Amino acid sequence: MPEGILLGLLIPVGVYLRGEGVLPILLVFIILFLCLRQFIHLKIRQAFVNVSLTLGGVLYISFLFSYIISLRDISSLGARLVVTIFFATWMGDAGAYLIGEKWGKHKLFPRVSPHKSWEGFISALLVSCVAMFISRMWLFFPLVHTLILGVLIGAMGQMGDFFESMLKREVGIKDFGKILPGHGGVLDRFDSLLFTVPLFYYYIKLVFGM
């Protein structure tokens, strides 16, 4: 549905212009628009399928990505926070891939992603912790919160990767795109961030009161 792309753009643009308080209004508008648009032109069963798929895509990609903007605007440290979550997430992904490829023997979820291993998963936790510890050079988090965040980011990053693998298997495709050869598409580079950024945002907001 082409309108799904346009509706998806409303969320990050709305958050950028008006803040996260505009999200409920945008979501209600998107749902109502999709329902009216589909039920007018299609049979009810097909309309429900189309609305569900489009709304799922909007929420999975656009809604979760909008937290990058919210994180940037959360305080005067917003830019550093964004750099930190990208750094810790991608370092965890790299650790999981490198260690898993070389020493991974115990499969984690072979039906979803046959190349993922427990060794790679644990490596993601450890490397994300190291990345968060390095981030103390520009973010002065207490050590205990640094380690907690490292573990959470490493775990959620892998869950994001698994979720994308599950989607690809469900629709029967290997890659979501060919813009980045060998990487499974652009979304493959950001699937982990879709899960780690909202987690990081709410941890910062609830624990540190920013």
pLDDT tens for the chain, 210 residues long, are 566 676 777 778 878 777 777 777 877 787 777 777 766 766 666 767 777 777 777 777 888 888 999 999 988 899 999 999 999 999 999 999 899 888 877 787 777 677 788 898 999 999 999 999 999 999 989 999 999 999 999 999 999 888 887 776 666 555 555 544 444 455 667 889 999 999 999 999 999 887
- Give me the number of domains the chain comprises: 2
Same domain, yes or no: 49 and 141: no
pLDDT attached to residue 207? 93
Same domain, yes or no: 37 and 87: no
Same domain, yes or no: 136 and 33: no
Same domain, yes or no: 47 and 148: no
- Which of 73, 93, 114 is the C-terminal boundary of a domain? 73
Amino acid at 52: S
Q: Mention every residue, 6+ apart, whose C-beta is less than 8 A from residue 43.
A: none
Same domain, yes or no: 2 and 46: yes
Q: Mention every residue, 6+ apart, whose C-beta is less than 8 A from residue 173.
A: none
Same domain, yes or no: 112 and 198: yes
Cβ contact 207:160 at 8 Å: no
Same domain, yes or no: 56 and 137: no
Same domain, yes or no: 84 and 156: yes
Same domain, yes or no: 98 and 191: yes
Domain encompassing residue 36: 1-73
Same domain, yes or no: 138 and 157: yes
Distance (Å, whole) CA 63 – CA 127: 27
- Which of 23, 38, 73 is the C-terminal boundary of a domain? 73
**Three-class SS state of 117:** strand
Same domain, yes or no: 103 and 149: yes
- Which of 22, 38, 73 is the C-terminal boundary of a domain? 73
pLDDT attached to residue 108? 76
Same domain, yes or no: 81 and 67: no
